[in-house]
Structure 1
Amino acid sequence: MPSNEQRRQNAKRKLERQLERRAQRAKRRRLLGVVSAIAATVVVAGGVYYLATRDGKTEPAAQSSESSAPPEGKTTGGPCAYLETPGEKAAKAVGMPDDPNPTPNQGTTQVTLKTDQGDVPLTLDRAKAPCTTQSFVHLAKAKYFDKTSCHRLTTTQGLKVLQCGDPSGTGSGGPGYSFKDETKPDMKYTRGTLAMANAGPNTNGSQFFIVYGDSQLPPNYTVFGSVGEDGLKTVDKVANAGPEAGARGEGDGKPKLPITINEAVVAN
């Protein structure tokens, strides 16, 4: 007869599987956009209300029927549990990251995005987000980011980010796997923040964003590193040219000054 502890663990695992299924059902096509332009920030009952859409479409509601769930893919055996997404073909074939136990969670890793507008050095923090850092380094070493454009720039009040990491350049491409959030309630998105874009809880893939101006976002996007002022000069140059008019409205679209990551180089 199972003990109370075993029942709790079984229930926990069942809940995690259900959450993963719901996230996939709610996103039949991956839309790894950072929350779109914040159209309004309204104080409601002492809190902040964010009006958000992705690609001009509202998020579909999760269905209750388990039978409609897409097939579940393979999961790596380590603590990060990277999940293969069979229904979402990788924008560039790359495979899944190694998943050692324990996950390295100390120190920083330097990655330089060598773009056609100038270098953008990144400092990845394993202590903040070990699984995210592990995935990002895997993608960089596999040349997943090489020859890819940064497909989205926002210059609206409260949302100033440059988004990259989709080889398809559409904002819907991913690496063929997803992984869980590594978020904290007190996360802030100030200038120089490096964070993951997503399409809802636990849907991280390859897309990331660089915050070039203090932004107002709920703490739903994993912060896994930072960009120094030298790198931000390159981002500022792109931001100052502004975005093209897009489906999301004024101040949110492809950069008018295109920026392409020619190579992502891992230093250590």
Structure 2
Amino acid sequence: MASSRDRQRKLARAKLDRQMARRAASARRRRQIQAGVGAALALALIVLGSVWALGGFDREPSPAAAPEICAWTPQDAASNSSLKDVGMPSTTGLPTTGTRPMTITTNQGSPVTVDLDLANAPCAGASFAHLAGRSFYDNTTCHEITADGALRCGDPSGTGTGGPTYTFTSENVPSAPAPEPTPSASPAAGQPPLYPAGTVALIGSAPGANGSQFLIFLKDFNPTAPTYPIVGKVSAGLDVIQKIGTTELVDNGSGEKVKPKTDVVIQSLTVGEPATDAPPAAPPATTTPTATPTAAGQS
């Protein structure tokens, strides 16, 4: 019996030793795993610290929003049936240097070419391009020769009250001439005209509220209080415009003898791509306080 008990004790002892050995091995594995994880974390921290020190976590700057060059003021077509809705031009990404060719083909002779001044009147250039791209001016009538000596065009209604469903402010109104030293002297004496023959300018429903209507000056015009924003000049075909200026004028239906007896029809008006090699434009003129333009029924 004693030897049987001894064997049982030996077997129990051996079992305990095996359990202890397994526990010890398991503890060693845990320590090894923990040591490995700790080393990996330490290495990761070192790498992350290096990346941070080198600026790897600096946030990329957000691209700046393109500045809005032009602001278009909506107009209510419901209150003016002469307005034509063709949307609005873009407010960003507009060309602001050089010139842009505008070609006006009428029923009165060879086409008239205008160089739009993008440096001094970029919004006017953008508006002309937008409207021309939607055939806004095609088959419209130049309905007036103004008292200021300019052919007035750009109103699809032919009434002087039409335009698109937006307006925009004036950009390039010439400065008023300096006063002469004596009251008897002409205000234009010794000074170049503010609006030389061939000048293209906008005419709005009120100064600073421009739409589609424009003037092409048949002769030099030098007012004491300029109000028309200059948008370009005729580079070819001024003789055609001046010939139109000699036509007989008739009543426009409102008691004013300003309408050409023979209809002057714009068959098409197109705007080309901006010129990439155009010389720098002259600095913009300083806008002066405006007065009501002399032409009647402006829009």
Pair in the same fold by TM > 0.5: yes
Structure 2, gaps ≥5 residues long: 1-66, 177-193, 274-299
Conserved 8 A contact 1:212-1:235:
yes
Q: Is the 8 A contact 1:166 1:174 kept in 2?
A: yes
Aligned residues: 185
- Structure 2 counterpart of 1:106: 97
CA contact (8 A) 2:173 2:228 kept: no
Deviation at 1:183, TM superposition (A): 2.9
Three-state SS of the structure 2 residue aligned to 1:122 is strand
What is the aligned counterpart of 1:267 among 272, 275, 278?
A: 272
Q: How large is the Cα RMSD of the aligned pairs?
A: 2.0
d(CA) in 2 for partners of 1:163, 1:108: 22
**Which of 175, 179, 191 is the matching residue for 1:186?**
175
State the distance in 2 between where 1:255 and 1:96 align: 31
Q: Give the 3 Å change call, closer, same or farther, for CA 84–236 of structure 1 in structure 2.
A: same
Measured after TM superposition, the shift of residue 234 of structure 1 is: 1.2
The answer on 1:162 being equivalent to 2:151 is yes
* Structure of greater Rg: 2
* Residue number in structure 2 paired with 1:34: none
Question: What is the CA distance between 1:104 and its match in structure 2?
Answer: 2.1
Partners of 1:120 and 1:162 lie apart in 2 by: 13
Kindly provide the CA deviation profile for residues 235-258 of structure 1, in whole angstroms up to 9, marking residues without a partner as x. Answer: 122111132134464xx5111221
Aligned equivalents of 1:248, 1:124: Cα separation in 2: 34
Q: Is the 8 A contact 2:82 2:161 kept in 1?
A: no
The 2-side partners of 1:244 and 1:216 are apart by 26
Q: Tell me the CA shift for residue 163 of structure 1.
A: 0.2
Partner in structure 1 of residue 207 of structure 2:
201
Matched, 1:211 2:203: no
AA aligned opposite 2:92: P
Structure with greater helix share of residues:
2
Once the 2 structures are TM-superposed, how far is the Cα of residue 141 of structure 1 from its aligned partner? 1.1
**SS in structure 2 of the partner of residue 139 of structure 1:** helix
What are the equivalent positions in structure 2 for 1:13-92 lying under 5 Å apart? 78-86=68-76, 87-89=79-81, 91-92=83-84
Secondary structure in structure 2 of the residue aligned to 1:226: strand
Look up the equivalent residue of 1:165 and give its one-letter code: G
Q: Could you say what secondary structure the match of 1:138 adopts?
A: helix
Task: Provide the C-alpha distance between the structure 2 equivalents of 1:201 and 1:160, rounded to a whole number of angstroms.
Answer: 18
Give 1:90 deviation, angstroms: 5.9
Q: Give the AA of the match of 1:223.
A: I
User: Is the contact between residue 91 and residue 175 of structure 1 (CA under 8 Å) also seen in structure 2?
Assistant: yes
1:243 alignment partner in structure 2: 249
Secondary structure of the equivalent of 1:195? strand
Task: State yes or no: 1:149 paired with 2:149.
Answer: no
Q: Percent identity?
A: 38
Shift of 1:93: 2.9
- Shift of residue 131, structure 1, vs aligned partner: 0.7
Q: Distance in 2 between matches of 1:88 and 1:184?
A: 27
Q: Contact 1:186/1:219 (CA < 8 Å) preserved in 2?
A: yes
Q: What is residue 123 of structure 2 aligned with on the other side?
A: 131
Q: Which residue identity is paired with 2:240?
A: T
Instruction: Answer 1 or 2: which has greater strand percent.
Output: 1
Distance 1:207 1:79 in 2: 21
Provide the secondary structure at the position in 2 that maps to 1:133: helix
Q: 2:258 aligns with which of 253, 256, 259?
A: 253
**Structure 1 residues 185, 121: CA separation in 2 closer, same or farther (over 3 Å shift)?**
closer
